[in-house]
Amino acid sequence: MPFYSEKVLDHFKHPRNVGEIENADGTGEVGNPVCGDMMTFYVKIKDNKIEDVKFKTFGCGAAIAVSSMVSEMAKGKTLEEAMKLTNEMVAQELGGLPPNKLHCSNLGADALHKAIENYLTKQNK
């Protein structure tokens, strides 16, 4: 497979942090308007840090690799740091994505940010 980096293939074949967090502090769901694929992120927050993060992705291999990478990059980060993660950073960390699959990297950081925003909204109640 010449188009995918080793890292993408590794995260696709062995995705980290797949699943759901029961009683998550925040959840965020996004859909990709290009292909209709869906991604949901769950976060557990402690002391302003992402203590745990899991995801469920109904999407292509690149989207699964992206979710897995986002979850690894986010774990242990403060909320502020996690909010600064961008889709570009994730694609870069994966060693790049083929141009026609770049839209797949658009979901990951967005879903994570939504989950954090969901947590913050609940806190403000």
Contacting ligand FES (CB under 6 A), which of 63, 73, 112, 115? Answer: 63
d(CA 101, CA 50): 28
**Minimum CB separation from ligand FES for residue 107, in Å?**
6
From residue 16 to residue 35, what is the string marking binding to ligand FES with x (rule CB under 6 A)? ----------------x--x
> How many Cα atoms within 13 Å fall on the side-chain side of residue 72?
15
Active site residues: 35, 104
Q: Is 37 left (phi over 0), alpha (psi -120 to 50) or beta?
A: beta
**Minimum CB separation from ligand FES for residue 115, in Å?**
18
Neighbouring residues of 33: CB distance < 8 A, sequence distance ≥ 6: none
From residue 90 to residue 119, what is the string marking binding to ligand FES with x (rule CB under 6 A)? --------------x---------------
Contacting ligand FES (CB under 6 A), which of 59, 65, 94, 112? Answer: 59
- Helix or strand run (H / E) with residue 49: strand 49-58
Choices 7-15, 22-30, 55-63, 90-98 (CB under 6 A): range interacting with ligand FES: 55-63
At 28, give phi and psi (nearest 5°).
-140, 130
Contacting ligand FES (CB under 6 A), which of 60, 83, 102, 120? Answer: 60
d(CA 108, CA 57): 10
